[in-house]
């Protein structure tokens, strides 16, 4: 029965054309967007961000006062003062104010040298998230008593343990991570840019990041590592902001057991950089697939061919399931080919335009490819189910578009308030688009994690499951209704 | 399995309209059985119920001692021609038969054999949308014969055929009957049936009004046409 349905699908030229069009649209859109993306840094290639120990592109830019730590050891200090400035914050963006951004960081760190992207473990005071232990850019946990200003970092063997304290006497463990090898131990200061989102007219948003600077005074320092405190601006070397030139430069001041560290930057996964846009053709390809999937069944009703089909296979549930399997399976295969082609081709174009290709990881790449194929396959089955229920092509196509493409577009173009958009992406079949989220949302990186920026309210597989539940539900409904009907 | 069709006490209503009212008759192998009656008498409904497309409110309809939906590879038991226009216009005649053959696990070679037999070999690779009514009819017959079934159920098989087509269809049906198959032919063409059918079932208002050998009808009423006009009045 599957074979017969496959033959049916491939022997109508319009449907082959539709499926080919889906591939062409998918690959073509990816190429078009890639070709339209340019990046340049003066007259040389833009430097690629460093890659962290876990494989992500990372930002590794902070002020570092350090000594060499051979073997075991510990560092204890009191954060006497932690303050900073934010340039031109909302609402009026017209003055420089005192204050710390939520994820400004001042604390202690053990790091495998000063090479950007190298492993580290740190305990820190943050602008408004209390004491945190973070390591290797993507890992973050809260801990310690509320209001703690005392920090301690110790290394024993291969583990680094962070502590926090209110009084320097009673210590609470914040966390322990594994880290061995030669290391530098010392103080860190970092202050990420102040992120603001501006709506620019119909359906678009732009994200801006403005310069901030933090400054911390450490005293009551106890260190097992000896020597001078050497200062490095890890990952620095840019021209520097006007504030740094005319008001307060980044750097280290040491006096009478007291260290004052001033700087900007962050230790975090790279944010706000686009991945290769090879999934840009999803919606156009989806439209082509939807039309074929609907016509695959409604044409049988229109011509009375469904009766011939049922004469050949009287088990109606089986017939509908076989057709669903064929349209879903063929869509999956065709889209998988399209994704692979689009990825290879558009990456070349993207890179040739000077863009930086961020590493995404093999598992993510696999999820994006297979997930996108599954998303379109599931949506095709959903459209087909609507075709069985409505028996007429145009209404079924319109309803399928209304259930899948329309919510997605509404949510991702900020035509709706973010709350409503996210709600749509939770309950409608468009939830399946969650499978296309390239980068995870990090709790310790402040960004607008909205659908417009490519972040979805549901986890990839959860979103796909919602779409699949819709498809399955409609299919079951269609089978139940069709099983008892006269045709 | 005995090649018979058995309709027993079949009733069906569409809203307040009675389509079938305890329709009962039997089709035996070895002869063509004519199925005649005015439009709306219930011929097509009976045929659709026989092959499982419609559901009866009461009664049973069996082909070869079974109901249609119990058949495995049903087209190898029952060949059906209900609506020859039911093809996808973009699909070629050969591909139409090909998917049907695949659904019954019939080798593709049989498709070409049949296209030859029904005289469509030359048009086999043309899109069905371009077929004349007669060609569609031939394609529909080919589909019915695909599984070499012992039972044939044909609704107006002469529709759209040219005079040569009439002769061809007549021979084809007669030959199948002589091979010991059960052949049920619904038609308004009394002249054709008079020569072709060994037995006639006359229906009106959803019930059987006469069920007799054609010869008896002719002897009694003079011709099948007179019999029909007399019986359904």
Indicate whether B60 and B160 sit together in one domain.
yes
pLDDT at residue A453, as a whole number: 84
Indicate whether A290 and A263 sit together in one domain.
no
The stretch A205-223 carries a mean pLDDT of: 91
Indicate whether B60 and B132 sit together in one domain.
no
Per-residue DSSP letter, A182: S
pLDDT tens figures, A431-444: 999 999 999 999 99
pLDDT tens figures, B59-71: 999 999 999 999 9
Q: Which of B149, B164, B199 is the last residue of a domain?
A: B149
A5 interaction partners in chain B (CB closer than 8 Å): 99
Q: N- to C-terminal Cα distance for chain B? A: 38
User: Looking at the predicted structure, is the pLDDT value of residue B22 above 60?
Assistant: yes
Indicate whether A280 and A302 sit together in one domain.
yes
Neighbours of A30 (CB within 10 A): 29
A298 interaction partners in chain B (CB closer than 8 Å): none
pLDDT at residue A173, as a whole number: 97
The answer to whether residue B202 sits within a structural domain is yes
Whether B27 and B192 have beta carbons less than 8 Å apart is answered as: no
User: Looking at the predicted structure, is the pLDDT value of residue A272 above 80?
Assistant: no
Q: Which is it for strands A105-111 and A266-269: parallel, antiparallel or unpaired?
A: unpaired
Indicate whether A72 and A91 sit together in one domain.
yes
The number of residues making up chain B comes to 233
pLDDT at residue A290, as a whole number: 97
pLDDT tens figures, A14-37: 999 999 999 999 999 999 999 998
**What SS3 class is residue B46?**
helix
pLDDT tens figures, A335-358: 999 999 999 999 999 998 888 888
Nearest to A202 by CA among A469, A452, A386: A452
Q: N- to C-terminal Cα distance for chain A? A: 19
Contact A307 B83 (CB under 8 A): yes
Indicate whether B60 and B164 sit together in one domain.
yes
Contact A310 B95 (CB under 8 A): no
Q: Which is it for strands B151-155 and B182-186: parallel, antiparallel or unpaired?
A: parallel
Alpha helix (H) residue ranges in A353-392: 362-390
Contact B86 A308 (CB under 8 A): yes
For residue A449, the enclosing domain spans 2-37+274-483
Q: Quote the CA–CA distance of A477 and A389 in Å, as a whole number.
A: 8
pLDDT at residue A452, as a whole number: 82
Whether A252 and A230 have beta carbons less than 8 Å apart is answered as: no
Q: Which of A223, A241, A269 is the last residue of a domain?
A: A269
pLDDT tens figures, A105-158: 999 999 999 999 999 999 999 999 999 999 999 999 999 999 999 999 999 999
Question: Is B233 an 8 Å CB contact of chain A?
Answer: no
For residue B112, the enclosing domain spans 87-149
pLDDT tens figures, A299-310: 999 999 999 999
pLDDT at residue A361, as a whole number: 87
pLDDT tens figures, A258-270: 999 999 999 999 8
Q: Quote the CA–CA distance of A126 and B189 in Å, as a whole number.
A: 94
pLDDT at residue A48, as a whole number: 87
Contact B103 A1 (CB under 8 A): yes
What's the angle, vertex CA B71, arms to CA B69 and CA B74, rounded to 5? 100
pLDDT tens figures, A454-469: 899 999 999 999 999 9
CATH number, position A255: 2.60.120
B100 interaction partners in chain A (CB closer than 8 Å): 4, 308, 312
The stretch B17-21 carries a mean pLDDT of: 93
The stretch A34-42 carries a mean pLDDT of: 85
In order, the DSSP letters of B178-214 are HTT-EEEEE-S-HHHHHHH-SEEEEEETTEEEEEEEH
Count of domains for chain B: 2
What's the angle, vertex CA A37, arms to CA A33 and CA A38, rounded to 5? 160
Q: Quote the CA–CA distance of A195 and A216 in Å, as a whole number.
A: 22
Q: Which of A238, A269, A300 is the last residue of a domain?
A: A269
Indicate whether B130 and B19 sit together in one domain.
no
pLDDT at residue A197, as a whole number: 81
Least confident of A5-14, A164-173, A235-244, B32-41: A235-244
Indicate whether B52 and B95 sit together in one domain.
no
Question: What pLDDT band is residue A202 in, cutting at 50, 70 and 90?
Answer: low
pLDDT at residue A203, as a whole number: 57
Say which of B52, B54, B88 has its CB closest to residue A305.
Answer: B88
Task: Give strand pairing partners of B201.
Answer: B35, B211
Contact A11 B99 (CB under 8 A): yes
Contact B99 A315 (CB under 8 A): no
B83 interaction partners in chain A (CB closer than 8 Å): 304, 307
Indicate whether A297 and A391 sit together in one domain.
yes
Question: What pLDDT band is residue A484 in, cutting at 50, 70 and 90?
Answer: confident
With both helix axes pointing from N to C terminus, report the angle between A282-303 and A305-312 in degrees, rounded to the nearest 10.
80
Peptide bond before A60: cis, by omega within 30 degrees of 0?
no
Question: What pLDDT band is residue B1 in, cutting at 50, 70 and 90?
Answer: confident
Q: How far is A441 from chain B (nearest CA, A)?
A: 49
Residues 6 or more apart in contact with residue A330 via CB below 8 angstroms: A6, A9, A19
**What SS3 class is residue A238?**
coil
Question: Is A1 an 8 Å CB contact of chain B?
Answer: yes
The stretch A386-393 carries a mean pLDDT of: 96
Whether B37 and B73 have beta carbons less than 8 Å apart is answered as: no
The answer to whether residue A387 sits within a structural domain is yes
User: Looking at the predicted structure, is the pLDDT value of residue B44 above 60?
Assistant: yes
Q: How far is B188 from chain A (nearest CA, A)?
A: 22
Say which of A13, A313, A484 has its CB closest to residue B90.
Answer: A13
Say which of A5, A7, A305 has its CB closest to residue B98.
Answer: A7
Residues 6 or more apart in contact with residue A53 via CB below 8 angstroms: A117, A118, A119, A136, A137
Q: pLDDT: is B111 or A196 the higher one?
A: B111
User: Looking at the predicted structure, is the pLDDT value of residue B46 above 60?
Assistant: yes
Q: How far is A297 from chain B (nearest CA, A)?
A: 11
The answer to whether residue A45 sits within a structural domain is no
The stretch B43-64 carries a mean pLDDT of: 95
A304 interaction partners in chain B (CB closer than 8 Å): 83, 85-86
User: Looking at the predicted structure, is the pLDDT value of residue A240 above 80?
Assistant: no
Say which of B74, B85, B99 has its CB closest to residue A4.
Answer: B99
pLDDT at residue A146, as a whole number: 93
| Minimum Cα–Cα distance from A2: chain B residue | B103
Residues 6 or more apart in contact with residue A324 via CB below 8 angstroms: A381, A384, A385, A475
Indicate whether A195 and A291 sit together in one domain.
no
Q: What mean pLDDT value characterizes chain A? A: 92
The stretch A193-220 carries a mean pLDDT of: 84
The stretch A215-233 carries a mean pLDDT of: 94
Tokens of A380: 């095709």
Question: What pLDDT band is residue A275 in, cutting at 50, 70 and 90?
Answer: confident
**Tokens 């966390």 correspond to what residue?**
A175
pLDDT tens figures, B118-164: 999 999 999 999 999 999 999 999 999 999 999 999 999 998 899 99
| Minimum Cα–Cα distance from A315: chain B residue | B69
Q: Which of B128, B149, B170 is the last residue of a domain?
A: B149
Say which of A299, A304, A314 has its CB closest to residue B52.
Answer: A314
Percent helix, percent strand, percent coil in chain A, to nearest 5: 40, 25, 35
Residues 6 or more apart in contact with residue B35 via CB below 8 angstroms: B43, B46, B47, B184, B185, B186, B187, B200, B201, B203
Count of domains for chain A: 2
Q: How far is A381 from chain B (nearest CA, A)?
A: 21
Contact A12 B103 (CB under 8 A): no
Contact B88 A484 (CB under 8 A): no
Q: How far is B100 from chain A (nearest CA, A)?
A: 7
Question: What pLDDT band is residue A241 in, cutting at 50, 70 and 90?
Answer: confident
Indicate whether A319 and A447 sit together in one domain.
yes
HEC per residue, A395-443:
HHHHHHHHHCHHHHHHHHCCCCCHHHHHHHHHHCHHHHHHHHCCCCCCC
Question: Is B92 an 8 Å CB contact of chain A?
Answer: yes
pLDDT tens figures, A74-105: 999 999 999 999 999 888 888 999 999 999 99
């Amino acid at each position: 029965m599957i074979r017969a349905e496959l033959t049916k699908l491939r022997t109508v030229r319009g449907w082959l054309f539709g499926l080919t069009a889906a591939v062409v649209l998918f690959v073509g859109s990816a190429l078009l967007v890639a070709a339209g993306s340019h990046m340049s840094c003066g007259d040389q290639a833009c430097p690629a961000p460093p890659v962290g120990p876990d494989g992500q592109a990372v930002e590794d830019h902070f002020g570092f006062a350090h000594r060499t730590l051979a073997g075991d050891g510990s560092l204890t200090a009191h954060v006497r003062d932690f303050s900073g400035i934010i340039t031109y914050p909302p609402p009026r963006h017209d003055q420089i104010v005192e204050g710390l951004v939520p994820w400004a960081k001042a604390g202690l760190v053990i790091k495998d040298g000063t090479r950007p992207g190298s492993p580290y473990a740190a305990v820190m005071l943050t602008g408004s998230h209390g004491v945190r232990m973070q390591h290797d850019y993507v890992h973050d946990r809260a801990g310690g008593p509320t209001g703690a200003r005392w920090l301690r970092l110790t290394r024993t063997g291969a583990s680094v343990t962070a502590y926090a304290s209110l009084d320097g006497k009673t210590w609470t463990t914040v966390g322990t991570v594994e880290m061995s090898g030669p290391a530098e131990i010392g103080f860190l200061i970092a202050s990420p840019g102040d992120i603001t989102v501006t709506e620019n007219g119909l359906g678009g948003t732009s994200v801006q990041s403005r310069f901030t600077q933090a400054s911390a005074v450490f005293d009551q320092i106890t260190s097992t590592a000896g020597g001078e405190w050497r200062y490095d601006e890890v990952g620095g070397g840019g021209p520097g902001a006007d504030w740094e030139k005319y008001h307060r430069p980044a750097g280290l001041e040491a006096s009478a057991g007291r260290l004052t560290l001033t700087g900007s930057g962050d230790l975090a996964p790279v944010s706000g950089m686009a991945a290769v846009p090879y999934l840009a053709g999803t919606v156009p390809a989806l439209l082509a697939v939807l039309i074929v999937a609907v016509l695959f069944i409604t044409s049988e009703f229109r011509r009375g061919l469904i009766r011939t089909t049922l004469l050949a296979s009287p088990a109606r549930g089986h017939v509908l399931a076989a057709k669903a399997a064929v349209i879903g399976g063929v869509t999956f295969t065709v889209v998988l080919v399209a994704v692979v082609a689009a990825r290879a081709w558009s990456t070349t174009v993207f890179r040739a335009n000077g863009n930086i290709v961020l590493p995404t990881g093999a598992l993510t790449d696999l999820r994006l490819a297979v997930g996108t194929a599954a998303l379109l396959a599931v949506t095709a089955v959903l459209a087909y189910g609507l075709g069985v229920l409505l028996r007429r092509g145009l209404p079924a196509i319109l309803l399928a578009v209304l259930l899948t493409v329309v919510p997605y577009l509404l949510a991702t173009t900020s035509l709706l308030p973010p709350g409503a958009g996210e709600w749509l992406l939770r309950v409608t079949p468009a939830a399946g688009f969650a499978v296309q989220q390239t980068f995870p949302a990090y709790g310790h990186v402040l960004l607008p994690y909205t659908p417009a920026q490519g972040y979805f309210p549901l986890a990839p597989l959860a979103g796909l499951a919602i779409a699949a539940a819709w498809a399955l539900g409609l299919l079951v409904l269609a089978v139940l209704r069709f099983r008892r009907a006269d045709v | 399995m005995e090649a018979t069709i058995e309709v027993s006490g079949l009733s069906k209503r569409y809203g307040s309209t009675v389509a079938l009212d305890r329709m009962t008759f039997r089709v035996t192998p070895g002869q063509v059985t004519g199925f005649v009656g005015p439009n709306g008498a219930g011929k097509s409904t009976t045929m659709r119920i026989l092959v499982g497309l419609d559901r009866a409110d009461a009664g049973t309809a069996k082909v070869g001692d079974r109901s249609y939906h119990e058949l495995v590879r049903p087209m190898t038991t029952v060949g059906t021609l209900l609506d020859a226009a039911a093809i996808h216009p973009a699909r070629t005649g050969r591909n139409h038969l090909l998917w049907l053959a695949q659904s019954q696990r019939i080798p593709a070679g049989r498709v070409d054999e049949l296209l030859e037999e029904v005289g469509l070999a030359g048009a086999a690779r043309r899109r069905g949308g371009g077929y004349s009514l007669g060609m569609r009819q031939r394609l529909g017959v080919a589909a019915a014969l695909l599984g070499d079934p012992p039972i044939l159920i044909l609704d107006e098989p002469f529709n759209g055929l040219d005079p040569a087509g009439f002769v061809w269809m007549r021979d084809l049906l007669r030959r199948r009957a002589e091979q010991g198959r059960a052949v049920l032919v619904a038609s308004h063409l009394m002249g054709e049936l008079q020569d072709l059918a060994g037995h006639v079932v006359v229906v009106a208002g959803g019930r059987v009004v006469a069920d007799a050998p054609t010869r008896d009808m002719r002897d009694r009423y003079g011709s099948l046409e007179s019999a029909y006009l007399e019986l359904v009045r």
